[in-house]
Structure 1
């Protein structure tokens, strides 16, 4: 199989390294790009829009020249992956959401994020309009205390406040799966259940680990993605 792996907020394509290595060892082709505005040295991060992130992902996928591929999204990577799937529906074999946001046309991440998370993000916003992640919050809510390589970068605020445009995604009725990380503290389980329910009847896969299971439990995540991606 061919996989395109889309990372979540404060990270880059590096976050998938452990999972990607295991998938490649199993004989699969993997592409894990870093989204626009998530590069470590991006000079104009604050001005990057959700649409620019989606368009950049589409361009990167097209440049990689994959065949039909499984598109995997983690966390806030959900709407960016949906944007790409909307524009590349004929190439997408299946969309897999790993504790990821699933948006309707015209929604933004902050519409569905826990209210306390939205408030904390607004309070923490930098003067340039980017939103940082603090080590204490990362450890408490995202890795559950596990030490992880985490060269985290602030995110463009528009990643979570811009409304996504999806003229084709829902009409395309692409096969879908939802992977639930069983120890995720970043939001109530009910929030992820509600995301999955939007997909109708997705293949459901349980996977051990916290919200950042791709960093802490790469073996389990790789296995879960293979199960989620089967025809």
Structure 2
């Protein structure tokens, strides 16, 4: 990641101590973005599917703007579940995240899927 551990810590692990942030940073690998950042993905069957769905927002997330999280939850037709953590709750709050994931399996949509 550009900027090294300190930039990554600022956006993804700011609720972790430096030792934990370095541990997480050392385990990151390159991700291929390529066309995924410029070419829309089409999944028409998703919008017609009757699938269980939920959305967890990280209250301290500095990498995903809150308006975007709100938009995603609205389009999924779900109430947001939340955790008081940075973008990486699996590093700082794994137990609470696991409990929230289990809870997410019991939630029901509150509205329809909104494709556009």
TM-score bin (small chain)? 0.7 to 0.9
Higher relative contact order (CA 8 A, sep 6+): 2
Q: CA deviation at 1:162?
A: 3.5
4+ aligned runs moved over 6 Å, structure 1: none
Task: After TM superposition, list the pairs within 5 Å mapping 1:48-87 onto structure 2.
Answer: none
Residue 143 (str. 1) matches residue 13 (str. 2): yes
Residue 223 (str. 1) matches residue 103 (str. 2): no
What is the CA deviation profile of residues 63-109 of structure 1, one whole-angstrom value per residue up to 9, with x for unaligned ones? xxxxxxxxxxxxxxxxxxxxxxxxxxxxxxxxxxxxxxxxxxxxxxx
Normalized per residue, the structure richer in strand is: 1
Residue 128 of structure 1: aligned partner:
none
Identify which of 41, 56, 59 aligns with 1:164. Answer: 41
Residue 213 of structure 1: aligned partner:
89
Cα distance in 2, alignment partners of residues 203 and 223 from structure 1: 17
Cα distance in 2, alignment partners of residues 191 and 223 from structure 1: 24
Q: TM-score, normalised by structure 1?
A: 0.39
Cα distance in 1, alignment partners of residues 106 and 48 from structure 2: 22
RMSD: 1.9
> Judging changes above 3 Å, is the alpha-carbon distance between structure 1 residues 199 and 178 closer, same or farther for their aligned structure 2 residues?
same
Residue 189 of structure 1: aligned partner:
66
Structure 2 regions of 5+ residues with no counterpart? 108-116
Q: CA deviation at 1:211?
A: 0.3
Identify which of 135, 150, 154 aligns with 2:30. Answer: 154
Q: CA deviation at 1:136?
A: 2.1
Cα distance in 2, alignment partners of residues 183 and 207 from structure 1: 8
